[in-house]
Amino acid sequence: MKLSETEKDLYRIAREKMVETQIKARGIKDERVLEAMLKVPRHLFVDEALRDQAYGDFPLPIGEGQTISQPYIVAVMTEALELKGNERVLEVGTGSGYQTAILAELAFWVYTIEKYSTLLEKAKKILLNLGYKNISFKLGDGSLGWKEVAPFDAIIVTAAAPQIPPPLIEQLIEGGRIVIPVGDVYSQVLIKGIKKGGKLYTETLEPVRFVKLVGAYGFKE
Ligand code: SAM
């Protein structure tokens, strides 16, 4: 369905409100992250029936029992990656492709891995239609990383893991950042890690609740 100019304006206004009240108001300061969230049309990454809720302060279902993350959580995770524009970023859990678009706005190249082909294909179509040309897509278990194109300057995992998968730490460059929710299947904390001298130094950002990472270094099906 094509959107009329009036509809596009309404979504732009909703996006501005989202950034002011949910993102800036809660302390996100990185101007590039705020700009990207003002620009990316989040409503195009959810089913037509949910478009009017796309800028709400909550996650939404995207099929296969998965979700598009709450806008604020996308902002927190993205800011923690400290992207300047020249990075190669690995994203584990493409989902709707919304976070992928935000990363594609802020980094040089995004490598994204998704477990469900239905979600990957849908996200790919939307991202290509929007004109993104700096994204590589892969179907598979992202808990193993993407060895052929590693190492990465930054890694973001958008599903809950019982531990930080060791292959992801290996595939991070010296000085690289990883952001990942770690915990059990019901609740987790967002962990930010920085690799120094071959070792990962971590800090806890905030409590979160994500769907589970299912895979070799994730949870069982
Ligand atoms: N960032 C996404 C967005 O903006 O829509 C939200 C992702 S959703 C919370 C988590 C995604 O991780 C789901 O699409 C799920 O299928 C995917 N996933 C779970 N385990 C995975 C794995 N081992 N490898 C790749 N993707 C995985």
190's enclosing H/E stretch is strand 188-196
Ligand 1 contacts CB of residue 46 (under 6 A): no
Q: Is residue 69 among the annotated active site residues? A: yes
Chain position carrying tokens 């992801």: 168
Sign (positive or negative) of CA dihedral 133, 152, 164, 141: positive
User: pLDDT tens across 32-74, in order?
Assistant: 999 999 999 999 999 999 999 999 999 999 999 999 999 999 9
CB atoms within 10 A of CB 87: 20
Ligand 1 atom nearest to 68, measured from its CA:
5
Q: What is the mean pLDDT of residues 170-178?
A: 98
Ligand 1 contacts CB of residue 66 (under 6 A): yes
Ligand 1 contacts CB of residue 159 (under 6 A): yes
pLDDT for residue 194: 98
CATH hierarchy code of domain 5-208 = 3.40.50.150
Tell me what the pLDDT averaged over the chain comes to.
97
User: pLDDT tens across 24-39, in order?
Assistant: 999 999 999 999 999 9
34's enclosing H/E stretch is helix 31-39
User: pLDDT tens across 72-83, in order?
Assistant: 999 999 999 999
Identify which of 64, 155, 214 to mutate to test ligand 1's pocket (most ligand atoms within 8 A of the CB). 214
